[in-house]
């Protein structure tokens, strides 16, 4: 069912989502470590990799525990990577920003789908940068949850599936076409699987968000790739993970899709 976001005090709404984002970010750290290793994300409980002591509940509070422990294990004083609180804080901040941006849409299902993909985007970007792949298990679960959220909005009569399906089809056609034409050399199947998910969720916000997000991913990828080649940090033929560019491009589409589309149409005289 759809709920008008305007009926909830903004400070309360964003505060709750910020806390939720911190908690989700803590779980994403587990996912980013365990999924590429083929381990369960449920069992066993989190433990220090150095001394194997199980992390106590009071030492598992997002961001705060790392600060209180000064970035070290309580039992063996082994350093704890700053990546953990950074992922938690980033996810919390993104949840707040997305909720503030979409509050004007007054539609809960689109917000829910965007938050689901926001969380997945954080962990998928981490895994792709570190391991060079986008696990289908994460993409599949995310697609199921996001699709359910969008279908609830459609069932409630507050969300049209036309832009959702159109945007998803365009994303899939572009990424699937590149994969097919290059025999998998220009694009991985993980990218192809992620593409319609990002397209569908952006389509729930508006077709402009979907189209701008699609274009932004390729533009960002081209700019960073050119920089890496010119700086000597990459060679021709080097495989650069494209997933992070897809995800950041989708964020550009979400936040700037409508004004960028209006600017482009005005520039070309099509508006």
- Tens-digit pLDDT profile for residues 135-179: 999 999 999 999 999 999 999 888 899 999 999 999 999 999 999
Task: Identify the residue whose tokens are 């941006």.
Answer: 101
Min mean pLDDT across 160-174, 193-207, 252-266 is at 252-266
> CA 130 from chain center: how many Å?
16
- Tens-digit pLDDT profile for residues 67-83: 999 999 998 989 999 99
Domain that holds residue 79: 5-268
- Compute φ and ψ for 85, nearest 5 degrees: -65, -30
Q: What is the C-alpha separation between 90 and 104, in angstroms, rounded?
A: 23
Query: Exposed, middle or buried: residue 69 (CB in 10 Å: 0-12, 13-18, 19+)?
Result: middle
User: What integer best gives the mean pLDDT of the chain?
Assistant: 90
Compute the residue count for the chain.
Answer: 271
Q: pLDDT band for position 51 (50/70/90)?
A: confident
Q: pLDDT band for position 108 (50/70/90)?
A: confident
Number of domains in the chain: 1
Higher pLDDT pick, 175 / 5: 175
187 has a pLDDT exceeding 90:
no
Q: What is the pLDDT of residue 1?
A: 37
Q: What is the C-alpha separation between 271 and 153, in angstroms, rounded?
A: 29
Q: What is the pLDDT of residue 173?
A: 97
């Amino acid at each position: 069912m759809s709920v008008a976001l305007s009926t909830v005090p903004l400070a309360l709404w964003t505060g709750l989502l910020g806390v939720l984002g911190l908690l989700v970010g803590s779980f994403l750290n587990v996912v980013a470590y365990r999924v590429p290793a083929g381990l369960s994300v449920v069992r066993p409980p989190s433990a220090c990799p150095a001394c194997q002591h199980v992390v106590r509940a009071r030492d598992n509070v997002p961001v705060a525990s790392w600060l209180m422990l000064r970035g070290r294990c309580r039992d063996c004083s082994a350093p704890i990577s700053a990546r953990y609180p950074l992922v938690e804080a980033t996810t919390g901040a993104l949840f707040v920003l997305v909720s503030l941006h979409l509050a004007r849409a007054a539609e809960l299902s689109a917000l829910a789908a965007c938050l689901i993909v926001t969380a997945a985007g954080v962990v998928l970007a981490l895994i792709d940068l570190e391991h060079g792949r986008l696990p289908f298990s994460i993409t599949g679960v995310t697609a199921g949850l996001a699709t359910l959220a969008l279908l609830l909005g459609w069932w409630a009569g507050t969300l049209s599936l036309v832009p959702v399906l159109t945007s998803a089809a365009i994303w899939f056609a572009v990424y699937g076409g590149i994969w097919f034409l290059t025999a998998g050399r220009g694009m991985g199947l993980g990218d192809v699987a992620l593409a319609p998910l990002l397209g569908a969720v952006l389509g729930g916000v508006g077709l402009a968000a979907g189209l701008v997000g699609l274009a932004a991913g390729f533009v960002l990828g081209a700019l960073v790739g050119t920089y890496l080649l010119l700086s000597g940090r990459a060679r021709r033929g080097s495989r650069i993970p494209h997933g992070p560019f897809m995800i950041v491009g989708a964020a550009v589409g979400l936040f700037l899709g409508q004004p960028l589309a209006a600017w482009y149409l005005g520039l070309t005289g099509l508006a």
